[in-house]
Amino acid sequence: MSLGAARVVATLLEGYAVAGLIFAALFLPRGIVRVDPLVGHSPLTVRLLLAPGVVALWPAMALLWRRAVARPVPAAGEGRP
């Protein structure tokens, strides 16, 4: 692989990581409760443990969040549907 191609690949990976960080900053405080309502009652450390996975898999998490927005959020004691 040439140096120019390696730079392009590195730039693409950096962009993916930055997009993942931005998405995680938006998703973890609010969006994750839409995907899994039980996370809303968990401590902050659980969300911090989920952060690396959300950054790495942000396109899949965005899809889950988008699908979950259409569903109503269950009230606190109802659990999962």
* DSSP collapsed to 3 states, 29-40: HHHHHHHCHHHH
CA 72/CA 33 separation, integer angstroms: 11
pTM for the whole thing?
0.77
| pLDDT tops 60 at residue 43 | yes
Q: Where are the domains of the chain?
A: 3-69
* Band of residue 37 on the pLDDT scale cut at 50, 70, 90: confident
pLDDT of residue 30: 87
CA 27/CA 12 separation, integer angstroms: 22
